[in-house]
Amino acid sequence: MSEIIKVDGLVKRYKELIAVDNFSMTVNEGEILGLLGPNGSGKSTTINCILSLLEFDKGTITIHGKEMSPKAYDLKAQIGVVPQEVSVFEELTVYENIDFFCGLYITDSEKRKKMVQEAIDFVELNEFKKFRPKKLSGGLKRRLNIACGIAHKPKIIFFDEPTVAVDPQSRNKILEGIEQLRKEGATIIYTSHYMEEVEQLADRIIIIDKGQLIAEGTVDELKSMIKKCEMIRIEAKGITDEDLDKIRALENIFTVEYDGKHLKIEAGKGNNVVEVIKVLQEKGYRMKNVYSEQPTLNDVFLELTGKELRDD
Partner 1 sequence: MMFTYYLRKTLRDKAYLFWSLAFPILLMTCFNVTFMGPARGEVDFAPVESAVLFIDEDAEEKSAFAEEFESVLANLADTEAVKKSNMGYDHAIVKLISVQNREEAEKMILDKDLQVLFLVKGKEEKIDVKVGDSANTTTLMVARGIVESYRRNYMIIKDAAMTAPDKIEAVMTSLSESISVMKAKSAYIENDDGTSANVYMWYFYSTIVMGMFFNVTAGVHTVFDIQGNLSGYGMRTSVSPKKKTQILLSAFSARYVLSCAITFFALTVMNRCFDVPLGNRFPHIILFVLVGNLFSMSLGSVFGLFTKGDETQRDNKATAIVMISVILSGEMIVQLPGLFEKYCPIINRINPATIMNFAFFRLVNYPSLTGFWMNMIKIGLATVLFLTVSILKLRREKYAAL
Contact positions toward partner 1, by CB under 8 A? 48, 51-55, 70, 73-74, 76-77, 79, 81, 83, 85-89, 91-92, 96, 99-101, 103-105, 107, 109, 148-149
CB of 30 to partner 1, least distance (A): 21
Neighbour count for residue 23 (Cβ, 10 Å): 24
- Beta strands 262-267 and 230-236: pairing type? antiparallel
**Whose CA is closest to 32, among 160, 148, 177, 198?**
198
CB of 168 to partner 1, least distance (A): 24
CB of 75 to partner 1, least distance (A): 8
CB of 217 to partner 1, least distance (A): 29
CB of 165 to partner 1, least distance (A): 15
What sections of the chain are H helices per DSSP? 43-50, 73-76, 94-103, 109-122, 138-150, 168-183, 195-201, 219-223, 241-248, 272-282, 297-305
Angle at 134 between CA 131 and CA 140, to 5 degrees: 70
What is the C-alpha to C-alpha distance for residues 278 and 284, in angstroms, rounded to an integer? 10
Nearer to partner 1, 28 or 87 (CB): 87
Nearer to partner 1, 74 or 308 (CB): 74
Distances, alpha carbon 250 to alpha carbons 210, 244, 275, in Å: 37, 10, 8
What is the C-alpha to C-alpha distance for residues 248 and 78, in angstroms, rounded to an integer? 56
Phi/psi at 125 (nearest 5 deg)?
A: -115, 20
What is the C-alpha to C-alpha distance for residues 91 and 100, in angstroms, rounded to an integer? 12
CB of 131 to partner 1, least distance (A): 13
CB of 45 to partner 1, least distance (A): 8
Dihedral sign, CA of 50, 53, 58, 63?
positive
Dihedral sign, CA of 253, 257, 260, 261?
negative
